[in-house]
Protein backbone atom coordinates (compact mmCIF):
# COMPACT_ATOMS: atom_id res chain seq x y z
CA UNK A 1 0.00 0.00 0.00
CA UNK A 2 1.22 3.50 -0.85
CA UNK A 3 1.95 5.35 2.35
CA UNK A 4 -0.27 8.22 3.45
CA UNK A 5 0.98 10.83 5.88
CA UNK A 6 -1.08 12.16 8.77
CA UNK A 7 -2.14 15.82 8.34
CA UNK A 8 0.01 18.56 9.79
CA UNK A 9 0.05 18.77 13.56
CA UNK A 10 -0.73 15.06 14.12
CA UNK A 11 1.86 12.58 15.38
CA UNK A 12 1.47 8.97 16.44
CA UNK A 13 3.03 6.44 18.75
CA UNK A 14 2.68 2.88 17.40
CA UNK A 15 3.90 -0.23 19.19
CA UNK A 16 3.45 -3.86 20.15
CA UNK A 17 2.82 -4.36 23.85
CA UNK A 18 1.99 -8.06 23.65
CA UNK A 19 -1.80 -8.06 23.94
CA UNK A 20 -2.04 -11.25 21.87
CA UNK A 21 0.97 -11.72 19.60
CA UNK A 22 3.92 -9.79 18.19
CA UNK A 23 1.89 -7.60 15.80
CA UNK A 24 1.27 -3.91 16.47
CA UNK A 25 -1.53 -3.57 19.01
CA UNK A 26 -1.22 -0.10 20.56
CA UNK A 27 -1.44 3.33 18.98
CA UNK A 28 -1.94 6.88 20.17
CA UNK A 29 -2.53 9.69 17.68
CA UNK A 30 -2.10 13.16 19.16
CA UNK A 31 -2.62 16.67 17.85
CA UNK A 32 -0.07 19.30 18.83
CA UNK A 33 -2.99 21.65 19.56
CA UNK A 34 -6.46 20.90 20.94
CA UNK A 35 -8.72 19.77 18.10
CA UNK A 36 -12.42 20.17 17.41
CA UNK A 37 -13.90 16.68 17.52
CA UNK A 38 -17.02 14.61 17.10
CA UNK A 39 -17.75 10.99 17.87
CA UNK A 40 -20.39 8.38 17.16
CA UNK A 41 -20.63 5.11 19.02
CA UNK A 42 -22.44 1.80 19.22
CA UNK A 43 -25.83 1.76 20.89
CA UNK A 44 -25.26 -1.80 22.07
CA UNK A 45 -26.43 -2.45 25.64
CA UNK A 46 -23.07 -4.22 26.10
CA UNK A 47 -21.03 -1.22 24.98
CA UNK A 48 -17.42 -1.46 26.07
CA UNK A 49 -15.62 0.61 28.70
CA UNK A 50 -13.73 2.44 25.97
CA UNK A 51 -16.95 3.41 24.21
CA UNK A 52 -18.41 4.86 27.38
CA UNK A 53 -15.29 6.86 28.15
CA UNK A 54 -14.88 8.19 24.60
CA UNK A 55 -18.55 9.15 24.47
CA UNK A 56 -17.94 11.20 27.61
CA UNK A 57 -14.69 12.69 26.23
CA UNK A 58 -16.27 13.96 23.00
CA UNK A 59 -19.29 15.55 24.67
CA UNK A 60 -17.71 19.01 24.50
CA UNK A 61 -16.48 18.51 20.89
CA UNK A 62 -12.81 18.87 21.83
CA UNK A 63 -10.21 16.10 21.73
CA UNK A 64 -6.40 16.23 21.71
CA UNK A 65 -5.58 12.53 21.29
CA UNK A 66 -7.03 9.08 20.66
CA UNK A 67 -5.57 5.84 22.05
CA UNK A 68 -6.41 2.40 20.65
CA UNK A 69 -5.68 -1.07 22.00
CA UNK A 70 -6.37 -3.92 19.57
CA UNK A 71 -6.80 -7.67 20.11
CA UNK A 72 -8.80 -7.00 23.31
CA UNK A 73 -12.17 -5.21 23.34
CA UNK A 74 -12.34 -4.47 27.10
CA UNK A 75 -16.07 -5.30 26.92
CA UNK A 76 -18.03 -6.90 29.77
CA UNK A 77 -15.07 -6.43 32.12
CA UNK A 78 -16.85 -4.53 34.91
CA UNK A 79 -15.32 -1.91 37.23
CA UNK A 80 -11.83 -3.36 36.74
CA UNK A 81 -12.09 -2.82 33.00
CA UNK A 82 -13.33 0.75 33.53
CA UNK A 83 -10.38 1.48 35.82
CA UNK A 84 -7.92 -0.05 33.38
CA UNK A 85 -9.17 2.11 30.50
CA UNK A 86 -8.87 5.24 32.65
CA UNK A 87 -5.39 4.22 33.70
CA UNK A 88 -4.35 4.06 30.04
CA UNK A 89 -5.76 7.49 29.19
CA UNK A 90 -4.32 9.03 32.36
CA UNK A 91 -0.83 7.73 31.52
CA UNK A 92 -1.09 9.16 28.00
CA UNK A 93 -2.41 12.45 29.37
CA UNK A 94 0.52 12.72 31.76
CA UNK A 95 3.02 12.24 28.93
CA UNK A 96 1.30 14.73 26.63
CA UNK A 97 0.59 17.18 29.45
CA UNK A 98 -3.09 17.44 28.56
CA UNK A 99 -6.31 16.77 30.53
CA UNK A 100 -7.38 13.14 30.65
CA UNK A 101 -10.82 14.29 29.49
CA UNK A 102 -9.24 15.36 26.17
CA UNK A 103 -8.31 11.79 25.25
CA UNK A 104 -10.53 9.27 23.50
CA UNK A 105 -9.92 5.54 23.78
CA UNK A 106 -11.05 2.59 21.70
CA UNK A 107 -10.52 -1.16 21.95
CA UNK A 108 -11.25 -4.03 19.62
CA UNK A 109 -10.88 -7.79 19.90
CA UNK A 110 -12.06 -10.59 22.14
CA UNK A 111 -14.92 -9.80 24.54
CA UNK A 112 -14.79 -10.53 28.26
CA UNK A 113 -11.07 -10.44 28.93
CA UNK A 114 -9.21 -7.90 31.03
CA UNK A 115 -6.30 -6.01 29.56
CA UNK A 116 -2.99 -7.70 30.46
CA UNK A 117 -2.18 -4.70 32.64
CA UNK A 118 1.31 -5.89 33.56
CA UNK A 119 2.28 -5.60 29.90
CA UNK A 120 0.26 -2.41 29.39
CA UNK A 121 1.82 -0.69 32.42
CA UNK A 122 5.31 -1.75 31.43
CA UNK A 123 4.89 -0.14 28.03
CA UNK A 124 3.16 3.00 29.29
CA UNK A 125 6.11 3.54 31.62
CA UNK A 126 8.39 3.90 28.58
CA UNK A 127 6.29 6.60 26.92
CA UNK A 128 7.71 10.09 26.43
CA UNK A 129 7.03 12.97 24.08
CA UNK A 130 9.83 11.58 21.89
CA UNK A 131 7.73 8.41 21.48
CA UNK A 132 5.36 10.32 19.18
CA UNK A 133 7.49 10.15 16.06
CA UNK A 134 5.25 8.29 13.62
CA UNK A 135 3.53 10.19 10.79
CA UNK A 136 2.39 7.23 8.67
CA UNK A 137 -1.37 6.70 8.58
CA UNK A 138 -0.75 3.17 7.29
CA UNK A 139 1.18 2.35 10.46
CA UNK A 140 -1.75 3.68 12.50
CA UNK A 141 -4.21 1.56 10.50
CA UNK A 142 -2.08 -1.56 10.92
CA UNK A 143 -2.02 -1.12 14.69
CA UNK A 144 -5.82 -1.22 14.99
CA UNK A 145 -6.30 -4.39 12.90
CA UNK A 146 -7.61 -7.67 14.24
CA UNK A 147 -8.73 -10.14 11.53
CA UNK A 148 -8.41 -7.53 8.77
CA UNK A 149 -6.34 -8.75 5.84
CA UNK A 150 -4.88 -5.31 5.11
CA UNK A 151 -4.70 -1.78 6.46
CA UNK A 152 -7.55 0.53 5.49
CA UNK A 153 -6.55 4.12 4.76
CA UNK A 154 -8.08 6.86 2.59
CA UNK A 155 -7.41 10.57 2.14
CA UNK A 156 -8.65 13.65 0.30
CA UNK A 157 -7.79 17.32 -0.08
CA UNK A 158 -10.11 20.23 0.68
CA UNK A 159 -8.57 23.62 -0.02
CA UNK A 160 -5.20 23.71 1.74
CA UNK A 161 -6.30 21.05 4.20
CA UNK A 162 -6.05 17.26 4.16
CA UNK A 163 -8.45 14.65 5.54
CA UNK A 164 -7.00 11.25 6.39
CA UNK A 165 -9.13 8.34 7.57
CA UNK A 166 -8.19 4.93 8.94
CA UNK A 167 -10.50 2.06 9.78
CA UNK A 168 -10.64 -1.55 10.89
CA UNK A 169 -13.48 -4.00 10.66
CA UNK A 170 -14.26 -7.25 8.90
CA UNK A 171 -16.76 -9.03 11.16
CA UNK A 172 -19.42 -8.36 13.80
CA UNK A 173 -20.56 -5.53 11.55
CA UNK A 174 -24.10 -4.17 11.42
CA UNK A 175 -23.56 -0.58 12.53
CA UNK A 176 -26.08 1.06 14.81
CA UNK A 177 -24.31 4.42 14.99
CA UNK A 178 -21.18 4.41 12.95
CA UNK A 179 -18.89 1.47 12.47
CA UNK A 180 -16.24 -0.88 13.81
CA UNK A 181 -13.33 1.48 14.55
CA UNK A 182 -12.65 4.46 12.30
CA UNK A 183 -10.74 7.66 12.91
CA UNK A 184 -10.38 10.81 10.85
CA UNK A 185 -7.67 13.41 11.22
CA UNK A 186 -7.73 16.75 9.44
CA UNK A 187 -5.91 20.04 9.66
CA UNK A 188 -9.00 21.88 8.41
CA UNK A 189 -10.47 24.55 10.65
CA UNK A 190 -14.11 23.84 11.45
CA UNK A 191 -16.03 24.38 14.69
CA UNK A 192 -17.01 21.45 16.87
CA UNK A 193 -20.77 21.84 16.42
CA UNK A 194 -20.47 22.16 12.64
CA UNK A 195 -18.06 19.24 12.55
CA UNK A 196 -20.50 17.03 14.44
CA UNK A 197 -23.39 17.92 12.13
CA UNK A 198 -21.29 17.14 9.05
CA UNK A 199 -19.99 13.92 10.58
CA UNK A 200 -23.45 12.61 11.39
CA UNK A 201 -24.66 13.25 7.85
CA UNK A 202 -21.64 11.54 6.35
CA UNK A 203 -21.84 8.52 8.64
CA UNK A 204 -25.53 8.03 7.80
CA UNK A 205 -24.78 7.25 4.15
CA UNK A 206 -21.44 5.47 4.54
CA UNK A 207 -20.64 3.55 7.71
CA UNK A 208 -24.28 3.18 8.71
CA UNK A 209 -24.85 1.72 5.24
CA UNK A 210 -22.48 -1.24 5.57
CA UNK A 211 -23.24 -4.70 6.92
CA UNK A 212 -21.18 -7.87 6.96
CA UNK A 213 -23.12 -10.26 9.16
CA UNK A 214 -26.01 -8.37 10.91
CA UNK A 215 -24.16 -8.39 14.25
CA UNK A 216 -23.76 -4.98 15.91
CA UNK A 217 -20.40 -4.65 17.64
CA UNK A 218 -20.05 -3.73 21.29
CA UNK A 219 -17.06 -1.53 20.42
CA UNK A 220 -18.15 0.54 17.39
CA UNK A 221 -16.40 3.89 17.50
CA UNK A 222 -16.04 6.67 14.93
CA UNK A 223 -14.14 9.84 15.81
CA UNK A 224 -13.08 12.85 13.75
CA UNK A 225 -10.54 15.47 14.90
CA UNK A 226 -9.92 18.83 13.19
CA UNK A 227 -6.97 20.81 14.55
CA UNK A 228 -7.38 23.82 12.24
CA UNK A 229 -3.71 24.25 11.38
CA UNK A 230 -4.46 24.58 7.64
CA UNK A 231 -7.03 27.30 8.20
CA UNK A 232 -10.74 27.51 7.40
CA UNK A 233 -12.37 25.55 4.59
CA UNK A 234 -15.67 25.71 2.73
CA UNK A 235 -18.05 23.54 4.76
CA UNK A 236 -19.79 22.02 1.73
CA UNK A 237 -16.46 21.11 0.18
CA UNK A 238 -15.30 19.69 3.51
CA UNK A 239 -18.39 17.52 3.78
CA UNK A 240 -17.92 16.25 0.22
CA UNK A 241 -14.28 15.37 0.92
CA UNK A 242 -15.11 13.68 4.24
CA UNK A 243 -17.81 11.69 2.46
CA UNK A 244 -15.30 10.63 -0.21
CA UNK A 245 -12.88 9.35 2.42
CA UNK A 246 -15.65 7.65 4.43
CA UNK A 247 -17.15 5.92 1.40
CA UNK A 248 -13.73 4.64 0.39
CA UNK A 249 -13.22 3.14 3.84
CA UNK A 250 -16.77 1.75 3.87
CA UNK A 251 -16.14 -0.15 0.65
CA UNK A 252 -12.80 -1.42 1.96
CA UNK A 253 -14.55 -2.76 5.06
CA UNK A 254 -17.29 -4.45 3.03
CA UNK A 255 -14.90 -6.04 0.54
CA UNK A 256 -12.62 -7.24 3.38
CA UNK A 257 -15.46 -8.91 5.30
CA UNK A 258 -14.24 -12.06 7.00
CA UNK A 259 -13.74 -14.65 4.28
CA UNK A 260 -15.27 -12.31 1.69
CA UNK A 261 -14.51 -12.58 -2.00
CA UNK A 262 -17.11 -10.19 -3.45
CA UNK A 263 -18.25 -6.66 -2.57
CA UNK A 264 -22.04 -6.45 -2.83
CA UNK A 265 -23.58 -3.04 -3.47
CA UNK A 266 -27.38 -2.84 -3.17
CA UNK A 267 -29.18 0.21 -4.54
CA UNK A 268 -32.88 0.59 -3.78
CA UNK A 269 -34.52 3.54 -5.49
CA UNK A 270 -38.02 4.85 -6.26
CA UNK A 271 -38.89 4.22 -2.61
CA UNK A 272 -41.45 6.08 -0.48
CA UNK A 273 -38.70 7.57 1.70
CA UNK A 274 -35.06 7.03 2.59
CA UNK A 275 -35.92 4.84 5.58
CA UNK A 276 -37.85 2.44 3.37
CA UNK A 277 -35.08 2.33 0.78
CA UNK A 278 -32.49 1.58 3.45
CA UNK A 279 -34.68 -1.04 5.13
CA UNK A 280 -35.21 -2.95 1.89
CA UNK A 281 -31.57 -2.64 0.85
CA UNK A 282 -30.40 -3.96 4.23
CA UNK A 283 -32.85 -6.88 3.99
CA UNK A 284 -31.23 -7.84 0.70
CA UNK A 285 -27.57 -7.38 1.62
CA UNK A 286 -28.07 -9.17 4.97
CA UNK A 287 -29.81 -12.22 3.51
CA UNK A 288 -27.62 -15.34 3.85
CA UNK A 289 -29.31 -16.75 0.76
CA UNK A 290 -28.51 -13.68 -1.33
CA UNK A 291 -24.95 -13.67 -0.01
CA UNK A 292 -24.39 -17.34 -0.83
CA UNK A 293 -25.98 -16.93 -4.27
CA UNK A 294 -23.50 -14.16 -5.07
CA UNK A 295 -20.66 -16.27 -3.71
CA UNK A 296 -21.67 -19.11 -6.01
CA UNK A 297 -22.24 -16.76 -8.99
CA UNK A 298 -25.82 -18.02 -9.06
CA UNK A 299 -28.18 -15.42 -10.68
CA UNK A 300 -31.06 -16.56 -8.48
CA UNK A 301 -33.09 -13.34 -8.41
CA UNK A 302 -35.80 -15.16 -6.48
CA UNK A 303 -33.66 -14.78 -3.36
CA UNK A 304 -33.67 -11.00 -3.86
CA UNK A 305 -37.45 -11.06 -4.25
CA UNK A 306 -37.68 -13.09 -1.04
CA UNK A 307 -35.58 -10.55 0.84
CA UNK A 308 -37.74 -7.67 -0.38
CA UNK A 309 -40.83 -9.56 0.65
CA UNK A 310 -39.54 -9.89 4.23
CA UNK A 311 -40.30 -6.18 4.67
CA UNK A 312 -43.88 -7.17 5.41
CA UNK A 313 -44.81 -3.98 7.25
CA UNK A 314 -44.21 -1.94 4.09
CA UNK A 315 -47.68 -2.45 2.73
CA UNK A 316 -47.08 -0.21 -0.28
CA UNK A 317 -44.48 -2.58 -1.78
CA UNK A 318 -46.26 -4.18 -4.74
CA UNK A 319 -44.63 -7.10 -6.54
CA UNK A 320 -46.36 -6.08 -9.77
CA UNK A 321 -44.34 -2.86 -10.05
CA UNK A 322 -41.02 -3.81 -8.45
CA UNK A 323 -38.03 -4.12 -10.80
CA UNK A 324 -34.96 -6.22 -9.92
CA UNK A 325 -31.64 -5.95 -11.77
CA UNK A 326 -28.22 -7.58 -11.52
CA UNK A 327 -25.97 -4.79 -12.67
CA UNK A 328 -27.86 -3.16 -15.53
CA UNK A 329 -29.65 -6.36 -16.55
CA UNK A 330 -33.32 -6.59 -15.57
CA UNK A 331 -34.21 -10.02 -14.22
CA UNK A 332 -37.69 -9.23 -12.87
CA UNK A 333 -40.44 -8.73 -14.01
CA UNK A 334 -38.74 -9.45 -17.34
CA UNK A 335 -38.18 -13.17 -17.02
CA UNK A 336 -34.97 -14.22 -18.72
CA UNK A 337 -34.51 -17.55 -20.41
CA UNK A 338 -32.27 -20.06 -18.69
CA UNK A 339 -29.38 -19.45 -21.09
CA UNK A 340 -29.67 -15.68 -20.49
CA UNK A 341 -29.61 -16.21 -16.73
CA UNK A 342 -26.55 -18.43 -17.08
CA UNK A 343 -24.85 -15.55 -18.86
CA UNK A 344 -25.29 -13.46 -15.72
CA UNK A 345 -23.09 -15.89 -13.79
CA UNK A 346 -20.02 -14.25 -15.26
CA UNK A 347 -21.22 -10.86 -13.96
CA UNK A 348 -21.71 -12.26 -10.45
CA UNK A 349 -18.18 -13.66 -10.60
CA UNK A 350 -16.74 -10.12 -10.51
CA UNK A 351 -15.05 -8.65 -7.42
CA UNK A 352 -17.91 -6.13 -7.14
CA UNK A 353 -21.59 -6.81 -7.82
CA UNK A 354 -24.52 -4.39 -7.99
CA UNK A 355 -28.06 -5.45 -7.12
CA UNK A 356 -30.45 -2.68 -8.16
CA UNK A 357 -34.08 -2.68 -7.03
CA UNK A 358 -36.68 -0.09 -8.03
CA UNK A 359 -39.80 -0.10 -5.85
CA UNK A 360 -41.59 2.44 -8.11
CA UNK A 361 -43.41 4.04 -5.19
CA UNK A 362 -41.67 7.40 -4.74
CA UNK A 363 -38.42 9.30 -5.31
CA UNK A 364 -36.16 8.19 -2.42
CA UNK A 365 -33.04 6.05 -2.76
CA UNK A 366 -30.38 4.48 -0.55
CA UNK A 367 -27.29 2.37 -1.22
CA UNK A 368 -25.81 -0.18 1.18
CA UNK A 369 -22.63 -2.23 1.07
CA UNK A 370 -21.88 -5.79 2.11
CA UNK A 371 -20.17 -8.95 0.96
CA UNK A 372 -20.75 -12.57 0.05
CA UNK A 373 -20.89 -15.35 2.63
CA UNK A 374 -18.17 -17.95 2.32
CA UNK A 375 -16.89 -20.97 4.16
CA UNK A 376 -13.98 -18.74 5.15
CA UNK A 377 -16.31 -16.63 7.32
CA UNK A 378 -17.48 -19.73 9.16
CA UNK A 379 -13.94 -20.98 9.70
CA UNK A 380 -12.58 -17.64 10.96
CA UNK A 381 -15.39 -17.21 13.47
CA UNK A 382 -15.54 -20.85 14.53
CA UNK A 383 -11.88 -20.63 15.54
CA UNK A 384 -11.81 -17.01 16.77
CA UNK A 385 -10.75 -17.63 20.39
CA UNK A 386 -9.42 -21.17 20.10
Rounded Cα gap, residues 364 and 269, in angstroms:
6
Catalytic residue chosen out of the listed positions 42, 58, 89, 179: 179
Rounded to 10 deg, the angle between the 301-309 and 288-295 helix axes is: 160
Name every residue whose Cβ is closer than 8 Å to that of residue 141 and which is 6 or more positions away in sequence. 151, 152, 153, 166, 167, 168
Q: Write down how long the chain is.
A: 386
Angle 192-205/235-255 helices, nearest 10 degrees?
40
The helix/strand/coil state of 317 is coil
Check if 135 is active-site: no
Phi first, then psi: what are they for 222, rounded to 5°? -135, 125
CB-facing half-sphere around the CA of 366: CA atoms within 13 A = 23
- Contacts by 145-150, CB closer than 8 A, 24 or more apart: 145/23, 145/24, 145/70, 146/70, 146/71, 146/108, 146/109, 146/170, 147/171, 147/258, 147/380, 147/384, 148/256, 149/256, 150/1, 150/256
Cα 283–chain centre separation? 19
**Could you give the angle at the alpha carbon of 363 between the alpha carbons of 212 and 311, nearest 5°?**
45
HEC secondary structure over 90-151? HHHHHHHCCCHHHEEEEEEEECCCCCCHHHHHHHHCCCCHHHCCECEHHHHHHHCCCCCCCC
DSSP letters, 327-377, are TTEEEESS---HHHHHHTHHHHTSSEEEEEEE--SSSEEEEEEEE---HHH
Parallel/antiparallel/unpaired status of strands 352-358 and 263-271: parallel
C-alpha separations of 131 from 71, 92, 96 in Å: 22, 11, 10
Strands 181-186 and 221-226: parallel
Catalytic residues: 179
Amino acid sequence: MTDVQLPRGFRAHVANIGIKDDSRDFVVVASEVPAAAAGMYTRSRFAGCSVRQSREATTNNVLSAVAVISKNSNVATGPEGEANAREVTQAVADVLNIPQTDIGIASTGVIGRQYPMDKVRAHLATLSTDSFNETSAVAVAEAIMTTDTHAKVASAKVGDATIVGVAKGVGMIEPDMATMLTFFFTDAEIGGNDLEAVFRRVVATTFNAVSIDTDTSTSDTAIVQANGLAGPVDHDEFEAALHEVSLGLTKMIASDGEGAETLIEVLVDSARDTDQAKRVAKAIVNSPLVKTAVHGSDPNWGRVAMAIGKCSDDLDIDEDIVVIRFGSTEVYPTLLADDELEGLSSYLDHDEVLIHVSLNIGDAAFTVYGCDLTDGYVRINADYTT
